[in-house]
C-alpha cells in the first residue's frame, strides 16, 4: 500500500518535471526562426569589420551609428531569450555580438566631455555648420561672440555669398567660397580670422554625371601653417528609391578615399570638417579616419548628434584633425533655423 503511494508520487513529480522541460524546449520551426535572427544579428555586427566585403551595399544602413545602437538592444533580447531556454551556445554567440557593439559604443561615444582653459595663442576655435540655404542674419554675431577663428559653412546660397563675405570682413574674417555642384545653387564657405596663403579645390565624382567640388585652403595661425578642406559628402536622397540610396553610399566612399589621399600626401596640421552625411561608424569615411582624429571622441561627451535640429539623433557634422595636441570645450547649438546644429571645438597646439 505504501509502495504504491510512493510510486504514484514519484510518477507525478516526474510527469510535472517533464512538462516543465517541454515548456522550455523549442519547436523546430521556432528554433529555426530564432537561429536565423541570431545569424543576421551576428552578420550585421561583424560586417563593418571585414577588410573587404561583397556586401558593402548594406553599409548604407548597417554602418549607421543609430542602427548599431538599436542592434545592441536586439542582441540583448536574443541573449535573454536563449539564456532562459538554456541554449548556451546561442546565448554565448549573442553575448559575443553584444560585447563587440558595447566596445564600439565606448570608442565612438565618449562618456564625459573634456574642458580646458584657453590660453592665448595656444588654441584654434573651429566651427562647422550646414546652413541649409537659410538666411544667415545673426551668424556673424554668433561667430564673433564665440571668438571662432575658423568656420566651415555648407549650403551657403550662391546669391548671398558675396554679401556675406563682405559683411564678414567687417568682423575681421577672410572668406573663400566654392560652388558645390553646377546644378546646385549653393556651396561651401570657409571663414578665417587669418588670411589665406593658398587657395585650391578638390573635385570628385557625384550623382547625375556631375562633379562635387570642395574648397581647400591654407592659412597660417601663430606661425603654424594649417591645411583646411571643407566638405559636404554625397547626401542621401531619401526621396529616391533604394538603388539611389545605395549609389550615394558608393559616392561617399570614393569621395572619402580621394580626400584621404590628399591628407596623406601633406604633412603637418590638417583639418577636414563639414557635413559628412555619415555617422562615425560608417565604412564610407573610414579612409579619412585612418589619418585623422575625431574632435568629438577626443573632446566631447555623449552621442554628439547634430542632425536634425528638431530631434538630434545622428552625428554627421564632424571636425577631424591631425597634429593638434588635444581637443576640448565642445559645443553644439541650433542656429539660423537650419535642420543642422552648429558644432564647435577648441583644438590645442
Q: Are 242 and 271 in contact (CB under 8 A)?
A: no
Q: Which residue has the cell 548599431?
A: 68
Task: Please state, in angstroms and rounded to a whole number, the distance separating the CA atoms of residues 294 and 299.
Answer: 9
User: Facing residues of 196 across strands?
Assistant: 219
Residues 72 and 164 in one domain: no
**What is the predicted pLDDT for the residue at 222?**
85
Residues 254 and 131 in one domain: yes
Give the domain extent around 245: 123-348
Residues 139 and 101 in one domain: no
Domain contains 339:
yes
Residues 198 and 321 in one domain: yes
This prediction's pTM = 0.90
Residues 6 and 41 in one domain: yes
Domain contains 132:
yes
Domains: count for the chain: 2
Domain contains 118:
no
Burial classification of residue 79, based on how many CB atoms lie within 10 Å of its CB (0-12 exposed, 13-18 middle, 19 or more buried) = buried
**What is the predicted pLDDT for the residue at 66?**
93
Residues 205 and 342 in one domain: yes
**What is the predicted pLDDT for the residue at 22?**
47
| Alpha helical stretches, state H, 109-238 | 139-146, 161-170
**What is the predicted pLDDT for the residue at 342?**
97
Domain contains 25:
yes
Residues 344 and 300 in one domain: yes
Residues 265 and 331 in one domain: yes
Q: How many Å from the N-terminal Cα to the C-terminal Cα in the chain?
A: 93
Domain contains 283:
yes
Residues 78 and 136 in one domain: no
Residues 243 and 216 in one domain: yes
Of 108, 136, 153, which closes a domain?
Answer: 108
Residues 230 and 98 in one domain: no
Q: What are the per-10-residue average pLDDT scores of the chain (349 residues)?
A: 54 51 70 95 91 72 92 97 94 97 95 88 93 89 96 95 95 97 94 97 92 97 94 82 81 95 93 97 92 97 94 96 96 93 96
Q: Are 270 and 322 in contact (CB under 8 A)?
A: yes
Of 55, 81, 108, which closes a domain?
Answer: 108
Task: Please state, in angstroms and rounded to a whole number, the distance separating the CA atoms of residues 142 and 27.
Answer: 63
Of 108, 142, 175, which closes a domain?
Answer: 108
CATH number of the structural domain spanning residue 176: 3.60.10.10
Give Cα separations from 319 to 116, 150, 301, 313, 342 (angstroms).
Answer: 18, 11, 15, 17, 11
Residues 44 and 163 in one domain: no
Kindly state the DSSP code that residue 314 receives in the 8-state scheme: B
Amino acid at each position: 500500500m505504501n509502495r504504491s503511494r510512493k510510486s504514484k508520487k514519484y510518477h507525478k513529480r516526474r510527469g510535472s518535471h517533464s512538462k516543465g522541460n517541454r515548456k522550455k524546449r523549442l519547436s523546430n520551426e521556432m528554433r529555426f526562426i530564432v537561429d536565423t535572427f541570431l545569424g543576421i544579428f551576428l552578420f550585421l555586427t561583424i560586417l563593418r569589420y571585414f577588410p573587404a566585403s561583397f556586401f558593402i551595399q548594406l553599409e548604407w544602413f548597417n554602418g549607421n551609428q543609430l542602427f548599431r545602437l538599436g542592434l545592441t538592444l536586439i542582441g540583448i533580447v536574443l541573449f535573454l531569450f536563449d539564456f532562459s531556454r538554456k541554449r548556451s551556445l546561442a546565448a554565448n554567440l549573442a553575448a559575443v555580438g553584444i560585447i563587440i557593439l558595447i566596445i564600439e559604443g565606448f570608442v565612438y561615444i565618449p562618456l564625459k566631455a573634456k574642458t580646458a582653459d584657453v590660453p592665448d595663442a595656444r588654441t584654434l576655435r573651429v566651427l562647422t555648420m550646414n546652413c541649409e540655404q537659410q538666411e544667415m542674419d545673426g551668424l556673424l554675431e554668433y561667430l564673433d561672440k564665440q571668438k571662432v577663428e575658423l568656420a566651415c559653412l555648407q549650403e551657403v546660397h550662391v546669391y548671398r555669398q558675396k554679401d556675406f563675405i563682405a559683411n564678414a570682413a567687417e568682423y575681421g574674417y577672410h572668406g573663400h567660397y566654392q560652388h558645390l555642384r553646377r546644378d546646385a545653387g549653393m556651396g561651401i564657405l570657409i571663414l578665417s580670422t587669418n588670411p589665406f596663403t593658398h587657395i585650391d579645390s578638390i573635385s570628385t565624382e557625384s550623382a547625375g554625371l556631375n562633379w562635387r567640388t570642395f574648397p581647400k585652403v591654407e592659412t597660417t595661425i601663430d606661425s603654424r601653417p594649417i591645411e583646411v578642406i571643407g566638405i559636404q559628402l554625397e547626401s542621401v536622397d531619401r526621396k529616391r528609391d533604394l538603388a539611389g540610396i545605395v549609389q550615394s553610399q558608393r559616392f561617399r566612399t570614393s569621395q572619402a578615399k580621394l580626400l584621404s589621399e590628399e591628407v596623406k600626401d601633406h604633412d603637418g596640421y590638417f583639418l577636414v570638417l563639414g557635413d559628412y552625411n555619415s555617422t562615425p561608424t560608417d565604412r564610407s569615411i573610414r579612409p579619412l579616419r585612418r589619418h585623422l582624429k575625431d574632435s568629438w571622441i577626443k573632446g566631447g561627451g555623449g552621442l554628439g548628434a547634430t542632425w536634425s535640429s528638431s530631434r538630434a539623433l545622428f552625428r554627421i557634422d564632424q571636425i577631424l584633425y591631425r597634429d593638434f595636441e588635444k581637443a576640448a570645450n565642445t559645443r553644439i547649438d541650433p542656429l539660423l533655423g537650419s535642420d543642422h546644429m552648429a558644432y564647435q571645438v577648441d583644438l590645442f597646439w
